[in-house]
Amino acid sequence: MTAKNMEELVALCKRRGFIFQSSEIYGGLQGVYDYGPLGVELKNNIKKSWWASIVYDRDDVEGLDASILTHQEVLKYSGHEDTFTDPLVDCKSCGERFRADQVPDYCKEDDLTEPRQFNLMFKTNVGPVEDGENFAYLRPETAQQIFTNFKNIIDATSRKPPFGIAQIGKAFRNEITPRNFIFRVREFEQMELEFFVKAGEDEKWHKYWVDERLDWWEKQGVNREHIELLEVAKDELAHYSKATVDLMYKFPHGVEELEGIANRTDFDLGSHSKNQNELRINAKTKENKRSNAKLAVQNEDKSWSVPYVIEPSAGVDRGFLAILNEAFVEEELKNGSKRVVLALKPHLAPIKAAVIPLKKNNEELVILAKKLKDELQNHRLGRVLLENTGNIGKSYRKHDEIGTPICITVDFDSLEKNTVTVRDRDTMEQETISIDDLSKKYCDSIL
Ligand code: ATP
């Protein structure tokens, strides 16, 4: 099941502290959001799961955490200064500006100006002199610093293709019309892998990564039937791409891109490399006399070649939205009442377990509950919460709604018989088990 509409998700996010509009007390900054106490946990868990599958579970990927402030020349030679634009139109009737392909129905064609190209990159001044020359860009994608660090990383790790470099981090785009909650924002996070391969093996690896990524989304609870594969038409490909497959997810507002998997050929390393003429680069690159590094690998016969690169690029925020949407369940119970459950996969749940003393003013119960909480927390599963509101029913409802896989209730039997009651989020079934068996039984299943 999924949410009925975006409003349901927005309301849940605000009510329970997943996501807030940024600078809300001053009227809000458009296209920018803050992740609250539960949002930061879910977001971190999504990123952890991606990193584990891309870096730890494989033997052919290294990690990187590069800067957000980016040298102007990086984005000049990457092609972003010239081509990272969207067509902008003004509506003479309502006075608003729109991306040409996103004009709302209420604007008439005749009222629109001719589209002009608008560069989406944010610039910021560097150092004390504001003369317009000393500026850096806030990166519009994390990928570029992976390419500019290519030589550093192969020198440090002795890697040879096929191998990848992974990075998770913020990216910034001055979107003309940010909208649909966290779907299209001006500040967001990307999880990007640049996977370097030999030319000629690129198409095989492209297909491989599409399958891998589909498999990962499914493991995060995203129903395979809610993702369509879109082979991007040749005339719509980004300037660096030979072929791109977009994973199009059925968001509450419509089917749109969740992740793009591009074959970027030898464009990026070729663009940022010195001695381009000696390298037989296939892609059309800008002449580069500024780079001081040869971004190529040496073959057995001592010749040099520029690897091709396959790039799976996923948005953390769009992933968050998709995962939240997939997990959202509204259930009618036997007694006619309703409950909202976030059926998140346990490894993504913001709170792994809630420990609830039956009575909030009973010192013995509270002390034992706190002790249990500390013991479970020591397993480093993620966050375990001591929920001491004194109302069991309300506590269960809250934890259903935020996706906590199990609630552990400490009652008077706990003091006498050393047992607790464990309630399962999805089935609502309860079982009484010995405290000594608690971590053994549940730690693996809520990892
Ligand atoms: P769109 O066509 O929706 O603008 P894009 O094709 O420009 O997206 P890419 O450049 O391929 O996006 O970026 C890779 C991923 O980064 C996207 O699949 C998406 O998940 C995420 N992303 C891109 N732009 C935004 C944004 N403005 N807000 C949130 N996530 C974004």
Q: From the CA of 4, how far away is ligand 1's center (Å)? A: 24
Q: From the CA of 311, how far away is ligand 1's center (Å)? A: 13
Higher pLDDT, 380 or 309: 309
Could you tell me the residue ranges of all domains in the chain?
6-76+139-267+309-324, 349-442
The residue nearest atom 3 of ligand 1, judged by CA position, is 257
Asked if residue 329 has pLDDT above 90, the reply is: yes
* pLDDT band (50, 70, 90) for residue 444: confident
The residue nearest atom 23 of ligand 1, judged by CA position, is 315
Q: Which two tokens stand for residue 419?
A: 């047992």
Pairing of strands 419-424, 430-434: antiparallel
Index of the ligand 1 atom closest to the CA of residue 247:
18
Work out the average pLDDT over 137-143: 98
pLDDT at residue 439, rounded to an integer: 87
pLDDT at residue 132, rounded to an integer: 76
Given a contact cutoff of 8 angstroms between Cβ atoms, the answer to whether 164 and 54 are in contact is: yes
Given a contact cutoff of 8 angstroms between Cβ atoms, the answer to whether 388 and 369 are in contact is: yes
Which residues are near ligand 1 (CB < 6 Å)? 141, 173, 175, 184-185, 188, 190, 257-260, 313-315, 317-318
Least Cα distance to 103 among 91, 116, 85 occurs for 91
Cis? peptide before 346, omega within 30° of 0: no
Work out the average pLDDT over 230-248: 93
Domain 6-76+139-267+309-324, classified CATH 3.30.930.10, yes or no: yes
Work out the average pLDDT over 185-193: 98
pLDDT, one tens digit per residue, over 41-65 is 999 999 999 999 999 999 999 999 9
- Phi and psi, residue 215, nearest 5°: -60, -40
pLDDT at residue 38, rounded to an integer: 98
Q: From the CA of 221, how far away is ligand 1's center (Å)? A: 21
This prediction's pTM: 0.96
Asked if residue 234 has pLDDT above 80, the reply is: yes
Q: From the CA of 314, how far away is ligand 1's center (Å)? A: 8
Q: From the CA of 315, how far away is ligand 1's center (Å)? A: 7
pLDDT at residue 389, rounded to an integer: 87
Work out the average pLDDT over 354-375: 95
- Phi and psi, residue 417, nearest 5°: -110, 5
Pairing of strands 406-410, 351-357: parallel
Q: Which two tokens stand for residue 42?
A: 């879910």
DSSP string, 281-343: --S-----SS------EE-TTS-EEPPEEEEEEEEHHHHHHHHHHHHEEEEE-TTS-EEEEE-
The CA distance from 250 to 105, in Å, is 22
Asked if residue 304 has pLDDT above 70, the reply is: yes
Q: Name the average pLDDT for the chain.
A: 95
Work out the average pLDDT over 10-32: 97
Q: Which residues contact 112 (CB under 8 A, 6 or more apart)?
A: 89, 90, 91, 92, 103
What does the DSSP 8-state code read for residue 246?
Answer: E
Domain 349-442, classified CATH 3.40.50.800, yes or no: yes
Index of the ligand 1 atom closest to the CA of residue 244:
11
Q: From the CA of 209, how far away is ligand 1's center (Å)? A: 18
Asked if residue 1 has pLDDT above 90, the reply is: no
pLDDT at residue 443, rounded to an integer: 84
Asked if residue 35 has pLDDT above 70, the reply is: yes
* pLDDT band (50, 70, 90) for residue 447: low
* pLDDT band (50, 70, 90) for residue 357: very high
pLDDT at residue 130, rounded to an integer: 78
Work out the average pLDDT over 245-270: 97
User: Do the domains 6-76+139-267+309-324 and 349-442 sit in the same CATH topology, yes or no?
Assistant: no
Q: Pick the range with the lowest mean pLDDT from 81-95, 190-204, 261-275.
A: 81-95
Q: Is the dihedral of CA 9, 15, 18, 19 positive or negative?
A: positive
pLDDT at residue 430, rounded to an integer: 97
pLDDT at residue 425, rounded to an integer: 97
pLDDT, one tens digit per residue, over 99-121 is 998 898 899 999 999 998 989 99
The CA distance from 50 to 167, in Å, is 10
Least Cα distance to 168 among 293, 33, 319, 271 occurs for 319
The residue nearest atom 19 of ligand 1, judged by CA position, is 315
